Structure 1
Amino acid sequence: MEISRDSAPGRRDEQVWGFAPAASPGARVLVLGSMPGVASLRQGQYYAHPRNAFWPIAARVFGFDPALEYPGRLQALQACGVALWDVLHACERPGSLDADIRADTLVPNDFRAFLRAHPAVARICFNGAKAAAVYRRHVLPGLAGASLQYFELPSTSPAHAAATFDKKLAAWEAALKMPAK
């Protein structure tokens, strides 16, 4: 994880790199954001902004305490078969907004390798429209033959205030709950 802070005149926007996936070998659901925001990058944690609704939603859906320390929250998700990652490995973006990601700088993650290593993944849940759009354009064409379910969900970011917490919770709960095998 790095955040470039070079702001010399004529320099491009900040280069940001995402995290490794947080996934157990038996993951069945993969939650994908676009790229971690500044608060997440600084803390080295997925969904670290205190007003991001991801952890409160996940805690309600799966019945764990959202106040757990970060490793405990990750462990709770993984015990439920849920993995976290982002569509992008790297990009240039000032700040945290998806709308500010420079389209000419996108470097997607290696989903072929991830899906080979996690063959039980059957469902991908996109945390917001940008993650879904970037995946469709830059990842999906390289995954010919993959049989996956896709859910585009309302962003849990505090910047996405168009949907209430309850509306977000209902959409996320329906997508995250996998039928038992």
Structure 2
Amino acid sequence: MALVESFSAVQGVAPRILVLGSMPGIASLQHNAYYAHPRNAFWPIMASYFQFDLALPYAARLTNLTDRGVALWDVLQRCERPGSLDSAIKTESMVANRIDLWLQQSPSVVALLCNGGKAGQLLQRYYPSLAVSDLHIETLPSTSPAYAALPLADKTERWHQSLQRVSAGLT
């Protein structure tokens, strides 16, 4: 059984949105980069919304997000999981990141956007009190290629609508 660990949070000076995944997949861990699988829709969705070149190097893509107030992290800090599927995570091995402490240090955050159902479930499991906070919390369609039930155009529309709502302050 493979023990996997998430990355540190990536954030700029005053993040407004925290995008939470569940746990990086194998491709991301191998490349030490969020959403590194070539068929993951995260970067195409972000590049089209924020109007930056998808072909930019990873560090430049991160800067494009953090400069616009978007931070990235995962709900889980570590777990045992063979492969990349969320369904393969061994429940008894899960250890959550300290999202509560991170939020205390990042009072500018107004929204948590969960990348997929598993991230939303894990956030609710470990931090149920956030549901009654002033934060806008939304679970969006997973950008993972493993979630093929929704076409890319529909995923893109849902993510863009959510980013627009948060950006417009309609939280």
The TM-score bracket by the shorter chain reads over 0.9
What's the TM-score, normalizing by structure 2?
Answer: 0.94
Query: Unpaired segments of 5 or more residues in structure 1?
Result: 1-12
1:115-142: CA deviations, max 9, x gaps?
A: 122111110111000000011011234x
Of 33, 40, 64, which aligns to 2:52? Answer: 64
Cα RMSD over matched residues?
1.5
Count of matched residue pairs: 168
Query: Unpaired segments of 5 or more residues in structure 2?
Result: none
Opposite residue 101 of structure 1, the aligned amino acid is I
Partner of 2:63: 75
Of 136, 146, 149, which aligns to 2:133? Answer: 146
Q: Which 4+ runs in 1 deviate beyond 6 A?
A: none
Q: Give the direction of change, closer, same or farther, for the CA distance of 1:169–1:145 in structure 2 (3 Å limit).
A: closer
2:113–2:137 Cα contact (<8 Å) kept: yes
Percent of aligned pairs with the same amino acid: 46
Partner of 1:167: 154
1:108–1:139 Cα contact (<8 Å) kept: no
1:44 aligns with 2:43: no
Partner of 2:111: 123
Secondary structure of the residue aligned to 1:40 is helix
2:40–2:145 Cα contact (<8 Å) kept: yes
> Shift in Å at residue 145 of structure 1?
6.1
2:131–2:137 Cα contact (<8 Å) kept: no
1:80-125: CA deviations, max 9, x gaps?
A: 1100000000001000000101111110000122112211111011
- Structure number, greater radius of gyration: 1
Secondary structure of the residue aligned to 2:112 is strand
Tell me, in whole angstroms, the C-alpha distance in 2 between the residues paired with 1:15 and 1:104: 12
What's the TM-score, normalizing by structure 1?
Answer: 0.89
